Chain A
Amino acid sequence: AQSVTQLDSHVSVSEGTPVLLRCNYSSSYSPSLFWYVQHPNKGLQLLLKYTSAATLVKGINGFEAEFKKSETSFHLTKPSAHMSDAAEYFCVVSPSGGYQKVTFGIGTKLQVIP
C-alpha cells in the first residue's frame, strides 16, 4: 500500500522569499517520487523526480527536493519565489516497477504576493 500526504493545502509567500511545500509518503516498495505543477486551466508539468539516485534532486525553474527516507519526506523548495510560480503543486509516489498505479497528493496551491 502507498499513500502521499501534502501537509498544506494552501501556501502563501512574498515574491523573492523562499518556498517550502511539504510532502510525506508511505510505500511498501522502494518508491519513485515526483513533483508536478499545474497552472490554471493547464495540464500537469513534471518539475522533478527522484528514482533512487541522488537524494537531492534539482528540477526546472529553480526548484529542488530532498528525499529523506528516515523522515519519509520529499519536500519541495525554491530559494526565491517568482510571481510565475503561483500554481498548484502535486506530490506523487510510485512504486518502482510493476503495474502498480501511482498515487497523487491532493495538491498545494501556492500564492505569491507581490
Chain B
Amino acid sequence: EAGVTQSPTHLIKTRGQQATLRCSPISGHTSVYWYQQALGLGLQFLLWYDEGEERNRGNFPPRFSGRQFPNYSSELNVNALELEDSALYLCASSWDRRNYGYTFGSGTRLTVV
C-alpha cells in the first residue's frame, strides 16, 4: 500500500512569493490534515479537510489556505511568504473523522529566503 505522498520534498521561495504544497492520502482515506513543524515550536495544526470540506483550522493567518479535491488529495497554499514560514510541512491522512490514528507523509521542507 502506498503511503501518504507529499510534493515537493524541498521548496525554496523568496519572501512575498506564494508556495503550493501537495499531498496525496492513502487510498481510501478521506481526511487530510496539515501541520507546520517549525524549529523550536513543535507541531502546529494548520488545516483539516474531510470529504472535500474544511472541517477545522488552526491559529494561522488567512494567507494559509488550502483545498481538498474530489480524489481526496489536498493542496496547501501559503501566500505572501514570510521568513518565519520556513518549516517542515507535514500532511497526514486518516480513513475517517474519528481520529483513530493518522498516517503521515515525509513532509515538504519550505525555506523562505
Contacts and interface: CB of A to CB of B under 8 A. Distances in A.
Interface of A: 32, 34, 36, 42-46, 49, 51, 90, 94-107
Contacts of A98: 97
Interface residues of B, number: 24
A32 B97 CA distance: 13
A90 B43 contact: yes
B100 A32 contact: yes
Interface stretch (B11-19, B64-72, B75-83, B101-109): B101-109
A97 B98 CA distance: 4
10 contacts: A32-B100, A36-B104, A46-B102, A49-B100, A99-B48, A99-B55, A101-B45, A101-B56, A104-B35, A105-B42
Which 3 interchain pairs have the tightest Cβ spacing? A94-B99, A43-B104, A44-B104
B26 interface: no
B90 interface: yes
A20 to B, nearest CB: 21
Nearest to B6: A43
A29 to B, nearest CB: 11
Contacts of A43: 4, 6, 90, 104-107
Nearest to A46: B101
Contacts of B56: 99-101
A101 B103 CA distance: 15
Contacts of B97: 97-99
B28 interface: no
